[in-house]
């Protein structure tokens, strides 16, 4: 054949180019996760509906992540109806033929703790009716038992079931390990598999091999890659999974890309185009318009909740595997306990540590205890549990106590198997500690611990005269986020949020060095309890004395004996439960915050002497 035969043009594409052209790679804009990985709140419905047509106009996205995760909860927290937001937000994409997808946490649904079976079954029915096409479901422990119902209920509701693998890097999390889970998910009927690389620590070559295995064994399965950029590996991972046969790549866009978020679509598109993949062009005028609108939303109230540090990547995350999405809350926790640690170190004749030194120590402590805890993938809520244990270990060791002197109830739940089976083996000392405290390991199906609850919520709505909503969406919202929904209906959430915004704006306009637990403890003077050491809120959020989700819990009574470093309460902050510990041992002489009351970091909530 003559050389010129290869140079025939078909619609300005040479024959040789056709031979070399690789498959099409589609892009998904993870607009919800962009915000969650940056700060506490999501845009309002009026903002979302303004940017939706601009995103459509960009022309490069086949999918948009519209809701799920904390989306509904945070809407309720600032006094807005999340159901109206989802319907309005998905409408433009539905009309344009762009698929929408949500994120749910399997056993935990859209929250941080277990959800009854009937509520889980209602969720995809509601979301499908609201215009959501795909339900991405993940279990933080990769326990197929928790994912089976997610797949089943999504399919029953007519949604596409995308089952996610929580990606991390350990001796346990091999390609063979993940393929064993994939086999189960395909057996359940999952339509798609997502590689949820939530901390961005998946190693590119390993991820490429995993995708190759999935596509070879199950060529009909769509594979989508979701990788955060915190430790800087995800661009290489993106290229490797694309070469291995991945179909869809999750992307972000300015001004919320990179750092602890996701790669920017411009860079991903340029990289894959150069590699020979078919990718859609980006309407840059629309990109810049969407970028400007997103910045406008940030400059509104949302900017008050975004930590500028989230724009920075750190290779230190490669070792500890902590997800970028919790960096803001983790740093807040660490600042809250920094003073207490230095007080303990000083008391024991040891040198104090700077905040930067403490941060590195925390990363190292997480890396140290993670194998001991059975290698739980560090994703919500197990990243928070592991981090909480590490923080309390640092405090205990500063006080001259051994590791694991204090473990909170939720972390014990993970350790004991109530949330699912841990991927690895617990260290013998953890098992022995559980036995010493009379705790029993749970081997049953996690879902069995959460009996059906819809009848009780239906009765509550009838008694209050509340409408169950179109397609039972209001019933679902109450059942999934009962406390936040009640606060929303009463107007308390809106009132509380407006006060919080006003306070944050005032603090922003008059910047000052933030108070630490140590400075308040040493300098706070009160005529009511002279000489007593104050209990200081270590985060901004909702005070939960003793029991995390029991609204009837009360503060410790005056006279209650407490030990130094003991956890007396938890503060329900943005995306984490932050422990409040006693800086000194003694007896409680007074408390001034009720169960469920909102506090801000630095507030005095009680006294110990």
pTM, entire model:
0.83
Single out the residue of 44, 102, 104 nearest to residue 75, CA to CA.
44
The answer to whether the CB of 141 falls within 8 A of the CB of 422 is: yes
Q: Name the token pair of 169.
A: 């890097």
Across 253-291, b (16+ Cβ under 10 Å) vs e yields bbbbbbbbbbbbbbebbebbeeeebebbebbeebbebbb
Single out the residue of 48, 115, 32, 118 nearest to residue 80, CA to CA.
48
What's the whole-number average pLDDT of the chain? 88
Distance from C-alpha of 323 to C-alpha of 300, rounded to nearest angstrom: 26
pLDDT of residue 531: 67
Q: How confident is the model at residue 136 (pLDDT cuts 50, 70, 90)?
A: very high
- Over residues 306-317, the mean pLDDT reads 80
- Over residues 111-117, the mean pLDDT reads 92
Of the two residues 292 and 355, the one the predictor is more confident about is 292
* H helical segments located in 78-157: 82-96, 117-129, 144-156
pLDDT of residue 6: 35
Mean pLDDT is highest, among 56-70, 392-406, 549-563, for 56-70
pLDDT digits (tens, 9 = 90+) for 479-529: 999 999 999 999 999 999 999 889 888 887 776 555 444 443 433 334 466
- Over residues 212-226, the mean pLDDT reads 98
Please identify which residue in the block is written with the tokens 């002279």. Answer: 530
pLDDT of residue 523: 37
Query: Is the N-terminal amide bond of 381 cis, ω within 30° of 0?
Result: yes
pLDDT digits (tens, 9 = 90+) for 543-562: 777 644 344 467 787 888 88
Q: How confident is the model at residue 329 (pLDDT cuts 50, 70, 90)?
A: low
Q: Which domains does the chain have, with CATH numbers?
A: 26-309 (3.20.20.70), 314-448 (no CATH), 517-608 (2.40.50.100)
Q: Name the token pair of 366.
A: 């997480």
Has residue 266 got a pLDDT over 50?
yes
pLDDT of residue 250: 98
Single out the residue of 233, 226, 211 nearest to residue 63, CA to CA.
226
Q: CA of 19: how far to CAs of 13, 272, 276, 469, in Å?
A: 10, 17, 11, 54
Of the two residues 15 and 505, the one the predictor is more confident about is 505
Backbone angles phi, psi at 35, to 5 degrees: -75, -45
Judge residue 22's burial from the number of C-beta atoms within 10 Å of its C-beta, 0-12 exposed, 13-18 middle, 19 or more buried: middle
Task: Give the containing element (helix H, strand E) for 265.
Answer: helix 265-274
pLDDT of residue 52: 98
pLDDT of residue 563: 79
Q: How confident is the model at residue 13 (pLDDT cuts 50, 70, 90)?
A: very low
At residue 99, the 3 state secondary structure works out as strand
The answer to whether the CB of 534 falls within 8 A of the CB of 521 is: yes
pLDDT digits (tens, 9 = 90+) for 145-158: 999 999 999 999 99
pLDDT of residue 309: 73
Distance from C-alpha of 225 to C-alpha of 453, rounded to nearest angstrom: 35
pLDDT of residue 344: 86
Mean pLDDT is highest, among 62-71, 300-309, 316-325, 400-409, for 62-71
pLDDT of residue 4: 38
Contacts of 459 (CB under 8 A, 6+ apart): none
pLDDT digits (tens, 9 = 90+) for 409-461: 889 999 999 999 999 999 999 999 999 999 999 999 999 999 999 999 999 99
Has residue 273 got a pLDDT over 90?
yes
Strands 222-227 vs 192-197: parallel, antiparallel or unpaired: parallel
Q: CA of 372: how far to CAs of 369, 403, 415, 429, in Å?
A: 5, 11, 10, 9
At residue 424, the 3 state secondary structure works out as coil
pLDDT of residue 296: 96
Please identify which residue in the block is written with the tokens 């998904």. Answer: 28
The answer to whether the CB of 151 falls within 8 A of the CB of 188 is: yes
Of the two residues 422 and 578, the one the predictor is more confident about is 422
- Over residues 274-300, the mean pLDDT reads 97
Distance from C-alpha of 298 to C-alpha of 422, rounded to nearest angstrom: 38
pLDDT of residue 469: 96
The answer to whether the CB of 269 falls within 8 A of the CB of 2 is: no
Mean pLDDT is highest, among 97-101, 377-381, 390-394, 554-558, for 97-101
Strands 9-10 vs 13-14: parallel, antiparallel or unpaired: antiparallel
pLDDT of residue 336: 72
**DSSP per-residue letters across 59-80:** --EEEEEEEETTHHHHHHHTT-
pLDDT of residue 36: 87
Of the two residues 30 and 529, the one the predictor is more confident about is 30
pLDDT of residue 116: 97
Q: Out of 112-126, 222-236, 500-514, 547-561, which region has the weakest mean confidence (pLDDT)?
A: 547-561
Hey, how many other C-beta atoms are within 10 angstroms of the C-beta on 374?
21
Of the two residues 316 and 256, the one the predictor is more confident about is 256
């Amino acid at each position: 054949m003559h050389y010129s035969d290869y140079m025939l043009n078909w619609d300005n594409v040479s024959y040789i180019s056709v031979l070399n052209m690789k498959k099409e790679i589609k892009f998904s804009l993870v607009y919800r996760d962009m915000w969650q990985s940056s700060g506490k709140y999501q845009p309002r419905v009026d903002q979302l509906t303004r940017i939706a047509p601009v995103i459509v106009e960009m022309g490069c996205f086949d999918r948009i992540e519209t809701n799920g995760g904390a989306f509904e909860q945070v809407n309720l927290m600032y006094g807005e109806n999340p159901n109206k937001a989802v319907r309005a937000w998905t409408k433009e994409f539905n009309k344009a033929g762009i698929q929408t997808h949500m994120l749910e946490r399997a056993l935990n649904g859209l929250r941080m703790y277990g959800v009854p079976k009937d509520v889980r079954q209602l969720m995809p029915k509601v979301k499908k009716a609201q215009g959501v096409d795909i339900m991405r479901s993940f279990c933080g422990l990769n326990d197929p038992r928790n994912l089976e119902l997610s797949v089943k209920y999504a399919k029953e509701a007519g949604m596409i079931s995308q089952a996610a693998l929580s990606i991390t890097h350990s001796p346990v999390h091999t390609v063979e390990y993940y393929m064993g889970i994939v086999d189960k998910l395909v057996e359940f009927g999952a339509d798609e598999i997502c590689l949820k690389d939530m901390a961005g620590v998946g190693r590119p070559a390993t991820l490429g091999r995993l995708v190759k295995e999935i596509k070879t064994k199950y060529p009909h399965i769509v594979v989508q890659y979701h990788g955060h950029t915190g430790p800087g590996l995800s661009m290489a991972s993106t290229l490797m999974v694309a070469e291995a046969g991945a179909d869809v790549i999750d992307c972000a866009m300015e001004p919320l890309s990179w750092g602890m978020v996701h790669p920017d679509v411009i860079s991903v598109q340029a990289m894959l185009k150069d590699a020979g993949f078919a990718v859609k062009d980006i309407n840059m005028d629309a990109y810049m318009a969407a970028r400007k609108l997103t910045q406008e939303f940030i400059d509104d109230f949302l900017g008050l909740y975004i930590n500028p540090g989230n724009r920075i990547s750190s290779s230190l995350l490669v070792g500890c595997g902590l997800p970028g999405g919790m960096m803001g809350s983790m740093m807040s926790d660490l600042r809250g306990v920094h003073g207490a640690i230095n007080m303990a170190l000083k008391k024991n004749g040891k040198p104090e540590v700077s905040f930067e030194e403490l941060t590195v120590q925390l990363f190292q402590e997480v890396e140290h205890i993670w194998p001991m805890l059975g290698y739980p993938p560090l994703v919500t809520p197990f990243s928070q549990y592991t981090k909480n244990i590490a923080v309390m270990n640092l405090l205990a060791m500063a006080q001259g106590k051994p590791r694991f002197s204090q473990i909170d109830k939720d972390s014990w739940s993970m350790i004991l198997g109530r949330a699912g089976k841990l991927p690895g083996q617990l260290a013998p000392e953890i098992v022995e500690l559980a036995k010493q405290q009379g705790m029993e390991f749970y081997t049953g199906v996690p879902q069995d611990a959460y009996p059906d609850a819809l009848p009780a919520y239906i009765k509550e709505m009838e008694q209050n005269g509340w409408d169950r909503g179109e397609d039972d969406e209001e019933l679902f919202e109450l059942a999934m986020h009962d406390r936040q929904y009640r606060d929303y209906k009463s107007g308390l959430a809106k009132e509380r949020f407006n006060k919080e915004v006003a306070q944050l704006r005032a603090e922003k306009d008059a910047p000052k060095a933030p108070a630490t637990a140590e400075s308040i403890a040493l300098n706070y003077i009160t005529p009511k309890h002279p000489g007593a050491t104050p209990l200081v809120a270590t985060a901004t959020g909702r005070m939960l004395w003793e029991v995390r989700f029991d609204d009837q819990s009360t503060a410790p009574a005056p006279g209650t004996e407490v030990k130094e470093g003991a956890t007396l309460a938890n503060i329900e902050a943005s995306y984490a439960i932050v422990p409040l510990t006693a800086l000194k041992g003694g007896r409680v002489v007074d408390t001034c915050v009720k169960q469920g009351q909102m506090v801000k970091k630095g507030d005095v909530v009680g006294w110990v002497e």
